[in-house]
Amino acid sequence: MQFRSLRELHSFMTTPDMLSNVMNLLPTGTYLMFQILSPLTTNDGTCGGMEKALTSFTLCIFACFCALLAFTDSYVAEDGRLYYGIVTVKGLWNPTLEDSGLADVAGSTYFGGGGKYEIKRQDFVNATLAVAVFMTLTLLSDNVAECFYGSLSPNLKRSVPILVALVIGFIFAFSPPARNGIGFAISTTQISLVSNPVHV
C-alpha cells in the first residue's frame, strides 16, 4: 500500500479502535497530575479551612483544563511543522499562525480541513463527560473525600467511580474519534514518513 498524501497516511495510522478512543477521551493525564498534588493541597486528608480552599481552587483549575483539552486539535502545515490550536466556529485558532503566510490561514485561524477544525456539539459532550469523570474520581479519592466529607462509606467510594467510569467509558467507546489535541497529536515519526511514499 502506498501513501502519497498526509491525509491518507494520517487516516491509516490514527484510525482508533474502541479502546484507544476511550483512552484518548478519558482525562487520565489530568487525573494523575491532580493525584500527585492532592496530598499537598489536602495535607494528606487532614484539612482545615486553608486546605479546603486550596483543594477547591486546584480542583476548579484542573476541571477547566480538562474541559479545554476537549477543544484542542492539531494539524501539519505545508512547512512540515505541527501546529496545536483551539477549535472555534471558524477553524483552528493558534496565535502563532498570524502572519505565517501559510495556506488556508486567515489571521490566527486555520480554516482548512473541510470543517474538521470547527467546533462541534460533540466537543461539548466530550468536555462535559470528561469533567464528570474527573470530578467523580477526584472527589471520591481518599485524600479529597476525607478532606471534604470526613467519614464516607468505603463501598460508596469504591462503587460510584467504577460505575461512572464504566458508563461514560461505554459512551466514549461509541463516540466519534477523539481530536488530535495536546498529548494526542500526530507524532514526528508520522510526519517524517510523509516526505517519502510509504509501502506496507
User: Which residues contact residue 139 at a Cβ distance below 8 angstroms, ignoring those fewer than 6 apart?
Assistant: 59, 145, 148
Lowest mean pLDDT among 12-26, 71-85, 112-126, 185-199: 185-199
Residues 99, 104, 110, 115: what is their CA dihedral angle, to the nearest 10 degrees? 170
Q: In this structure, are residues 65 and 30 in contact, taking their beta carbons and an 8 Å threshold?
A: yes
Is residue 140 within 8 A of residue 161, CB to CB? The reply is yes
In this prediction, residue 186 carries a pLDDT of 54
> Could you tell me the pTM of the whole model?
0.77
| Predicted pLDDT of residue 178 | 74
Which cell numbers in the block locate residue 182? Answer: 495536546
pLDDT digits over 58-79, tens only? 999 999 999 999 999 998 888 8
